[in-house]
Amino acid sequence: MPGDPSSGYHESFHVNTAGNYMVVYDLKMQKIYFHNAGTTYHKVTKYYGELLIEEEAAFTGLNYTSAPFYQPEKKFVGWYEDALLETAYVPKDLTSDITLYAKFVDSPSVNLRFYDRNLDIKVDNGGFNEYVVFAYGKNTDGTEPLGGWPGRMMQKVVDMGHELSYGYYALNISGQDRPEKVTFNNGCQPFEPEHVSTPELVLPADKNLYEHDVAAWSVMTPVHDAATSYAINFLYETRNCDATGAVNNISSHKWEELGNLFNELAPDVQADLKNATATLSGDLVSQAMARYVYILQKYGTVTFTNFIDRTLPPSGIPAVRGDNKQNFYVLGIMAFIAVAGFFFLNRKRRY
């Protein structure tokens, strides 16, 4: 009878008849097999294409189940009894030596990212919002490669002692565990009133970032991912920035720390931050750069050094706007002055 020694659960074996008994411990399957029949074994030879993987013994009197084999950027389908991968192996008591062949399909690993700009995925804990996101994966054959509901918890970007995500979550998934479909959720069961989730989404082969507010997939490159991590730190450390500009709530020491962190970034990540469009309506990098430009324009580069070396707008032109009304107002005045000047000059020529 089988037992599982790794589980901490111990089974007692009652022997009623004296004799010689065989105990077999399967290291791969983590099982102990105990029986009193005269035991022999057959050799199992395993291949991946023409590559010999291993040879192992399969004891008689037991259904032989071969453990999965893993290859980078691939998903294991199963074992087959022929090199053409046409006859799937079914676990059985072997009566002779056997050769098995591993079948794989291409399945690249994915650095899955989720951006929830409006912070919709959350759990209401008695008036206190807890921002947590899980990724639940499912395949067409019903398997759940990321585990049962709610799946795996995605990670917040954690650095410098804080754990604010600003709606940005990450989960690295191996090729073996890559799901065909994914549902982002708050960890609550679908029947619970607190349940919040996206629809079931097909995970594209060429995209890895789902932007919840626009319900669309896009590409998050490793460079922009690193820039986003820095942007989250920047937004957090300057979170007390006074939007009115009346009070400077950012210490020169903190600004120096942010500069040192920037200098430690790879050159391509620095360039990504330097060249990003500074706008509150953009992604986290754009939002961080909008605040960066605002601080430099409001308090000057003497107080705060331009360590990113961004090109700043001319003095007097606002770098950050919550809306476009003021810009339209300024443009309207300029247009009115231009028209008034035209009529004034036109009238002057008549004299």
237/187 same-domain check: no
In a domain, 334, yes or no: no
Give the mean pLDDT of the chain: 82
Q: Last residue of a domain, which of 273, 288, 303?
A: 303
List, in sequence order, every beta strand (DSSP E) within the chain: 22-26, 31-35, 41-48, 51-59, 63-64, 74-80, 92-93, 98-106, 110-115, 123-125, 128-130, 134-138, 152-153, 155-156, 168-173, 181-185, 201-202, 209-211, 216-218
Q: Last residue of a domain, which of 164, 197, 218?
A: 218
Q: Read off the pLDDT of each residue in 92-98 and give the average, rounded to a whole number.
A: 92
Q: Give the pTM.
A: 0.70
CA distances to 80, 266, 277 from 273, rounded to whole Å, are: 51, 11, 9
End-to-end CA gap in the chain = 115
- Looking at residue 24, what is its pLDDT? 61
Span 302-321, pLDDT tens digits? 889 999 999 988 754 544 44
Q: Last residue of a domain, which of 91, 106, 121?
A: 106
Residue 41: other Cβ atoms inside 10 A:
16
Q: How confident is the model at residue 341 (pLDDT cuts 50, 70, 90)?
A: very low
Q: Which domain CATH number covers 94?
A: 2.60.40.4270
Write the DSSP symbol of residue 33.
E
- Looking at residue 173, what is its pLDDT? 95
Q: Contact 247/79 with Cβ under 8 angstroms?
A: no
Instruction: Provide the residue range defining the domain that includes 248.
Output: 222-303
- Looking at residue 325, what is its pLDDT? 33
The answer to whether residue 127 scores a pLDDT higher than 90 is no
Reduced to 3 states, what is the DSSP secondary structure of residue 103? strand
Q: Contact 166/284 with Cβ under 8 angstroms?
A: yes
Taking each helix axis from N to C end, the angle separating 284-303 and 267-275, rounded to the nearest 10 degrees, works out to 90
Q: Contact 256/190 with Cβ under 8 angstroms?
A: no
196/128 same-domain check: yes
Query: Which among 209, 202, 308 has a CA at the least distance from the CA of 261?
Result: 308
Span 206-248, pLDDT tens digits? 999 999 999 999 999 999 999 999 999 999 999 888 766 667 7
The answer to whether residue 348 scores a pLDDT higher than 60 is no
One-character DSSP codes across 241-262: --TTSSS----HHHHHHHHHHH
In a domain, 186, yes or no: yes
In a domain, 345, yes or no: no
- Looking at residue 26, what is its pLDDT? 58
In a domain, 351, yes or no: no
Q: Contact 108/73 with Cβ under 8 angstroms?
A: yes
In angstroms, rounded to a whole number, what is the distance separating the alpha carbons of residues 133 and 135?
7
Span 246-270, pLDDT tens digits? 677 888 899 999 999 999 999 999 9
10/92 same-domain check: yes
In angstroms, rounded to a whole number, what is the distance separating the alpha carbons of residues 248 and 300?
11
Beta partners for residue 54, in sequence order: 46
Number of domains in the chain: 3
Reduced to 3 states, what is the DSSP secondary structure of residue 214? coil
Q: Contact 171/138 with Cβ under 8 angstroms?
A: no
95/17 same-domain check: yes
> Which of 20-24, 137-141, 171-175, 294-298 is predicted with the least confidence, judged by mean pLDDT?
20-24
In a domain, 235, yes or no: yes
In a domain, 347, yes or no: no
